[in-house]
Structure 1
Amino acid sequence: MASVLVVNSGSSSFKYQLIDADSEERLASGLVERIGESTGHATHDTPDGHWERSLEIPDHAAGFAAMLDAFKQHGPSLDEHPPVAVGHRVVHGGARFFEPTLVTPLVLINIEDLSDLAPLHNPANVQGIKAAQKAFPDLPHVAVFDTAFHQTIAPDAYTYAIDADLAKRLRIRRYGFHGTSNKYVSGATEDFVQRPVTELNQIVLHLGNGASITAIDGGRSVDTSMGLTPLEGLVMGTRSGDIDPAVLIYLQRKTRISTDDLDDLLNQRSGLFGLSGRKDMRDVISAADKGDESARLALEVYLHRIKHYIGAYSFELGRVDVIVFTAGVGENSAVIRARSLAGLEQYGIEVDPERNDQRGGGIRVISTDASRVTVLVVPTDEELEIARQTLSVVG
């Protein structure tokens, strides 16, 4: 009963899942966190129960030792479900990686070299890969890049209109993110509507604390809202999304704000949090319902940006067959889904209130039977997609 171990590594934590290679059943999952702190914490979940413990975890290698001990103590047995490979989520592949890639020393060097484009993510991804290679030295390790799905975007959509030589030298262009989620969701949509993905034009709204929207033509990404970094595009929990670049110049001239503080402002103190003091969409909606003006405005700005992109991508695609909501907010907030598409009935987009309000764990239709555009809620599963792509490399 072969399996695939999927790892998503951060600078002070990593998540893992063990997935059956044939049935795609999730055999176990866990989280190792507070790596490098005085006391670390590890959780391990299987269909038989939940376990957690606190222990010293000085580095990622010790974290993987704790993970292996959890498998040994609580199962499932890695001897009975031997991993055939380890799949790793890597955030930024730049323009170099456009498919899942077997990790070699040269590939690791390239991932590290791309750290300038994702300083908070790629170094942590490399740490996780190196620790996993020590824990599983005889297994192939595969890097699955969050940017890879968007490598089909054409130059006119990914090019920024700045000095061409400077952009080329510093690798400045639109890359896009949430690609692994988009690939999984577009494939799941194909299965659900029983039409080949090559015949479908989709707009996928990945709405979580980080949020993006992607136009998919025949299974290929043709445009996406995130750019060089995950900051561009939609309003997010703490990120500003689109902003006039001159605002940054103005801020620096007026306040002498440092580059690091400017980065913190746009990524950690903006978005819903910057407008309302709340980063969780549930809190924003609740406050707006109670008459809080800042929360109401934050919600309106958030929804305005979504409609802006839906309109742009509808014209870019020429025809829209399916609109998909996914990720934490997209899957769970009936309010956001309804208000994002309100007033678009003349364009063939009609949401059924009763269907939209129903909660469920699987894929479901929330549009009316008369709607020309099918509107779906599709729970994403990035770990399963990483497992699938890993198997596609190792066979």
Structure 2
Amino acid sequence: MRLTGPSPARLAALGIDDRGEPRPPASSTPANGGGRRGAPRIALLVLAAGLAATAGGSVAAPLRTVAASSASSTPPASASADDWSELHPATAPLPRDSAVVAYDAASQTVVVSGGETGCGPSGREVYQDTWTWDGSQWKQVSTEAPGVFGVPNAYDPATGTVDVIWVPSCGDLVTSQWDGQTWTTTESETAPGYDQPAPYSEGAMAYDPTSKTLLLWSPGPGSVPGAASLPNDQPSTWSWDGSTWQPLSPDISPPSSIGGETRDVQMVDDAATGQMLLYGDPSQTMWTWDGTNWSQLIATGGPSPRVGASMLYDSALGEVLLFGGVAVTGYTPATATKGEAYTMGGPLNDLWAWSGGGWRQLHPATSPPARFYAQMAYDAASGQVLLFGGSVNTIADIADTWVYGPAT
């Protein structure tokens, strides 16, 4: 049975439409031309847990590409009118990385749940707590969350829940949903005749406002009626309507090699261009989903090769932002692809903006310490980007809180 989310009347009272975005006031105008907009809209962050793909699609199909409008030139780096500010709330989650993170439009808070740390009292720990951020303070709201990290997750405006897909030890794929008060976990149903998608801790997921479903891209495996199971590196694309997984069959799919580790592919709803955008680290490959097929975007310049970056759509700016990660300086061997070793550099704290026509680097006056696999989401209620924690090296996580928005 499909879970019931906030009623249309409740969403209307909150000023939220059916894609989970605040309706701008009738008289709303941009505050500063080319700067942040006066009426921020909700955007999703999907902190990726893997790679995206397509069930029944052929990776070997001829590549169809769509060039970005400024693919022949790299937009210049620009000074930013916005800036980072560190906040010091009275309490905060423990240090962690790779947690579930999403903006909950119904409660108008950012939800952070689970995650891992490599420096707990007993060594590596996976958390089972859930916290909310109201724009100024953290509040712990549950200690019974799924103990997961680096898994596909997204806010679903249709159900009013934060949805997480994962696989318990020795179990089948399940979906856990946070309704603002409790977590509910159920076995994930699939369309008749189809096997479950198998993202495990891999894949990227975001809400698709066109189909009004969650879109999942996973590296596989999967299968179709009358066909044998696909190889482990066969990508697949699925939609989730709140109760059932439906396999999609695009002719062209991003290859499973577009990402490095399981958390290095990210998907966002780029509301400014109306595209579902998939970005792979460290390949720097970008793909868009039109509801039927994937198309590769070709753009020069942009962020250097990295893994563990954080990516979201900033509704106030009308651009996709990418922050941090850890540098990839080479491969061992040089021909290595997904699943093979690559040489890591140091953590990063640079900030980039994608506007559909190309990348440009932003240069705020202040920047958080370098990190990777951080928790980052756009807080529509405050019109700011929230950044929490992440890893500063392979064994140490941090628990600082930063916001990015209009400089004060």
Taking structure 1 as the reference length, the TM-score comes to 0.30
User: When you count strand as a share of all residues, which structure comes out higher?
Assistant: 2
Higher relative contact order at CA 8 Å, sep ≥6: structure 1 or structure 2?
A: 2
User: When you count helix as a share of all residues, which structure comes out higher?
Assistant: 1
